Amino acid sequence: MAQPAPHGESAAQKQRPPLPVRLARSFWKRLSAIAFLLIPIALGMLLALALSNSALVERIRYIVFDQYQRWQPREWHKDLPVRVVDIDEESLAKVGQWPWPRARLAELTRKLTENGAAVVAFDVILAEEERLSQRAILSQLPPSPERNALAEALRLKGELDTDPLRDALAATNSVLAVVLTQQALPPDAKMKTQFVLAGDDPVPALRQFSGLVQPLPALREATSGLGAIQYVPDQDLIIRRVPLVFATGPANGKIIVPGLAAEALRVAQPPGSATPIIKTNQASGEYGFGGQTFVVSIKIGQFEIPVEHDGALRVHYAGTQAGRTIPAWKVFEGAVPRDEIDGRIILIGSRAASLFDLRATPLEPLVAGVDIHAEALEHIVSGATLVRPLWAPYAETLAILFAGLLLIFVVRKTSPLTAAAAAAILIAGGAALSWLAFSRLSILIDPLIPGATWLATYVAATIGVFRRSEREKRFVRGAFSRYLAPAMVERIAADPSQLALGGETREVTILFSDVRGFTERSETMEAEGVVRFLNALHTPMTAEVLKSGGTVDKYIGDGLMAFWNAPLDVPGHANNACRAALAMIELIPQIDAGIKLETEAAGRPHIPVRIGIGLNTGTVFVGNMGSEQRFDYSIIGDAVNVTARLESATKDFGIPILASEGTRAAADDFLFLDLGATGLKGKTTETEVFALHGPKSEAGPQFEEFAALHARALAAATTRAPDLSERLEAVRRHPLAQRYLAFYDKLETEERRVKADRTAIENSA
């Protein structure tokens, strides 16, 4: 800049930019000048991040490791001795809906045994008596001389003692599934497998549980093995590793439980030759940092399996293979060649979407759980290996440090073009070495964190922070403005650190709503009319969600899915969700009146608008899901499935809003009525269901009186009390009972059905 004239202002001075602009430019220049000083700080921070194995670092590594498997999946051969007998949709249609009777499972087991199966392993929980078996029906009858007489008659016929599945299991090599839990360990819990330990006790290194769900005692005694079907997905809910052993029980008495794949492999080999041997680092001369113990390998018969520190097998997936699967109906009909079964490990499970045993793997977003066990077994018997050694993070850290320091020197001493070339060579070389380690040695080495660190070393840290901050604000406003309240979007844009853009696990309250009779309605309307109807419905209902601090996840035709407490914390999110649900129900008459005017003007019959709403509070994985080109901010997890089932159950219960126990416990500003436990589709255990009645501000003597009458009626229905009809009649007469009349009718209908079944049993006896 030219020096100012000694007297007066020059023309250049008069035209120079305003002071704020000059200050901004000066600040930018100073940032550029000190950028090289901040690079070592950034390098040190990234070194610490690489060693931390934080959730963020692991998610980054998964991107590369999963892509490697997509580029080079494990080669599959038809001669591999593993097959899946699939209870698929066609089998359900031909054989009957699930669950199948024990006799049907016994027939399936016998046919597989007759065809030479080396072992038959069930990826199915057999922990409950059949509901329609003679034993189960008899147990529902109250004590009486007639019941005793019926029991004696059935015993004389041998129908109480006969269990065809038990006999079929005892006649073959079989493995049944157990499920590990965090409840207390049953006193009779005992595994079929005895482990040999080489080195220190491996239990502290294994996945820890405190209890388990076992098969029925008779089946447990008859089977050859018991294996856990537990899955341990990573934080993005993708299953990359399958634990071969677990630990369960109290802290001072843990027992080792084999996984289903490990147990099937043991039982398939000759007795006495396949006792599993767990080898820890002390036995192999390796030493863990801080003296820790970790598992090195597990030997099962002729197979010595390298595993990771907690006994998990990192699976090299081959992906879905048509030749691996045998539909169950073909086994029943004898339409399977013997050589497809003879000498093979047979896993029985289901790919049917209606049974909800679906998982995600690095290769596929939806895979049946039984296929993952099959992939693990194929990985083992084919001799494949895939490991991320304990030394890998330390080797990567050394590479980051030394190459990063070299890059700093190059950037300081050479031209920008030379520095850019050096950075590119380093990053490309790291990626090439990582790929060679995977493809040639089956070792997983991370190229992303080192590459990102070297790139960050090249780019001025503070300039990057400034530009990234601006991009994040634009990203947040664009990505979230369509499904978050404007005030919440501004809060996130002002402080993006409140949002985990990659996703996170957190507790939310979920709402599903759905229009009753939408299919019938849409059949009478043009496509444009359907759109107008949906807009008229969703616009005010969405406004209630946003007003209460909720996030609209998606519209599913006539349905709406929303959740609270993500991406930002929403104190009292369950109360907010209940408030929105009640407001949505109150909007329906107004929406219906407007739609009625339109349908009558068009000369169409009017179908009243009614909706059902399900509410559930639970833990989910929430984040941006999809691709870089198109993504959705959404949630996944079992809590989402439960909510959808609750919404669907409103049809059967005849009640507009159903909530789970989690929502009832968390929504302390509202009144609920217990509707008892019911079996939701896809759930193995019954779920407690509650009706959302209204705000607690409406509580009073009248509601307390009604709640007491309701509880007496529900208790009578649960215990099959003889005065159920009188109790139902008493509660129906209460003024607050009008909205629950359909539910009371359901209880009375169920009672009549049970009485009819009981009469039929007595007549048959």
- Model pLDDT for residues 59-107, shown as the tens digit of each residue: 888 889 999 999 999 999 999 999 999 999 999 999 888 888 888 999 9
Instruction: Look at residues 326, 357, 381 and tell me which one is the last residue of a structural domain.
Output: 381
Q: Where are the beta strands (DSSP E) in 482-583?
A: 504-515, 551-556, 559-564
Whole-number pLDDT of residue 12 = 39
**Residue 269: pLDDT band by 50, 70, 90 thresholds?**
very high
Is residue 594 predicted with pLDDT exceeding 70? yes
Q: Given pLDDT bands bounded at 50, 70 and 90, which one contains residue 15?
A: very low
Residues 92 and 49 in one domain: no
Q: What is the CATH number of the domain that holds 657?
A: 3.30.70.1230
Q: Give how far the C-alpha of residue 112 lies from the chain's centroid of Cα atoms, to the nearest Å.
A: 32
> Is residue 257 predicted with pLDDT exceeding 90?
yes
CA–CA dist 188, 249 (Å, integer): 12
Residues 277 and 335 in one domain: yes
Q: What is the residue type of 455?
A: L
The pLDDT, as a whole number, for residue 9 is: 41
Q: Are residues 410 and 263 in the same domain?
A: no
Place 465 in a pLDDT band, splitting at 50, 70 and 90. Answer: very low
Same domain for 570 and 591, yes or no, is yes
- Please list, in sequence order, all residues whose beta carbon lies within 8 angstroms of the beta carbon of residue 241, skipping any fewer than 6 positions away: 232, 234, 308, 312, 313, 314, 315
Question: Is residue 477 included in any domain, yes or no?
Answer: no
Q: Are residues 154 and 32 both part of a single domain?
A: no
Beta-sheet strands, E only, within 182-294: 196-198, 207-208, 211-213, 225-228, 241-243, 245-248, 255-258, 277-280
Q: Tokens 């901050």 sit at which residue?
A: 469
What is the reported pLDDT for 527?
A: 81
Residue 500 has pLDDT above 70, yes or no: no
Domain boundary among 333, 361, 381: 381
Q: How far is CA 89 from the centre of its chain?
A: 22
What is the C-alpha to C-alpha distance for residues 84 and 120, in angstroms, rounded to an integer?
A: 10
Q: Is residue 641 part of a domain?
A: yes
Q: Which of 26-30, 406-410, 525-529, 696-700 has the lowest mean pLDDT?
A: 26-30
What is the predicted pLDDT for the residue at 97? Answer: 86
Q: Is residue 482 part of a domain?
A: no
Q: Is 642 helix (H, G, I), strand (E, B) or coil?
A: helix
Shared domain for 230 and 344, answered yes or no, is yes
Check whether 143 has a pLDDT greater than 90: no
Could you identify the residue written with the tokens 């856990």? Answer: 228
More confident residue, 248 or 31: 248
User: Nearest 5°: CA angle at 99, between 170 and 641?
Assistant: 130
Q: Residues 489-502, buried b or exposed e (16+ Cβ, 10 A)?
A: bebbbeeeeebbee
Residues 86 and 63 in one domain: no
Task: Flag whether 520 is in a domain.
Answer: yes
Cis peptide before 145 (omega within 30 of 0): no
Residue 102 lies in a domain: yes
Q: How far apart are CA 121 and CA 348, in angstroms?
A: 6
- Is residue 446 in some structural domain? yes
pLDDT of 575 > 90? The answer is yes
Does residue 524 share a domain with residue 410? no
**467, 32 Cβ separation under 8 angstroms:** no
Burial-class residue 516 by CB neighbours within 10 Å (0-12, 13-18, 19+): middle
Residue 29 clears pLDDT 80, i.e. is over it: no
Last residue of a domain, one of 329, 346, 381: 381
Q: At what angle do helices 55-71 and 19-52 cross, to 10 degrees?
A: 70
The yes-or-no verdict on residue 562 having pLDDT over 90 is: yes
- Residues ≥6 apart with Cβ < 8 Å to 557: 518, 534
One domain, residues 57 and 191: no
> Whose structure tokens read 């304990």?
390
Q: Which helix (H) or strand (E) holds 398?
A: helix 392-413
Exposure on the CB side of residue 266, measured as CA atoms within 13 A: 26
pLDDT score of 3: 41
Q: Is residue 471 part of a domain?
A: no
Same domain, 678 and 709: no
Residues 723 and 648 in one domain: no
DSSP 750: H
Q: Output the 3-class SS for 352-385.
A: CHHHCCEEECCCCCCEEHHHHHHHHHHHHHCCCC
pTM of the model: 0.54
Domain co-membership, 118 together with 44? no
Has residue 474 been placed in a domain? no
* Listed residue (316, 288, 296, 291) closest to 66, CA to CA: 316
- Mean model confidence pLDDT for the chain: 83
Per DSSP, the residues of 98-109 read SSPPHHHHHHHH
State how many domains the chain has.
4
- Any idea what DSSP says for residue 17? P
The set of long-range contacts for 702-711, using a CB threshold of 8 Å and a minimum separation of 24, is: 702/735, 702/736, 703/671, 703/736, 705/734, 706/731, 706/734, 706/735, 706/736, 706/737, 707/673, 709/734, 709/737, 710/673, 710/674, 710/737, 710/740, 711/674
Query: Of 533-537, 548-552, 565-569, which gets the smallest average pLDDT?
Result: 565-569
More confident residue, 606 or 168: 168
Q: Which domain holds residue 89?
A: 82-381
How do residues 271-311 score in pLDDT, each as one tens digit?
A: 877 789 999 987 766 555 556 888 999 999 999 999 988 99
Contacts of 155 (CB under 8 A, 6+ apart): 161
DSSP state letter for 158: T
Higher pLDDT, 154 or 337: 337
Q: Decide if pLDDT at 49 tops 80.
A: no
The residue type at 445: I
Q: What b/e sequence results for 552-581 when a residue is b if at least 16 CB atoms lie within 10 Å of its CB, and e otherwise?
A: bbebeebbbbbbbbbbeebebbbbbbbbbb
The whole-number average pLDDT for the span 173-194 is 92
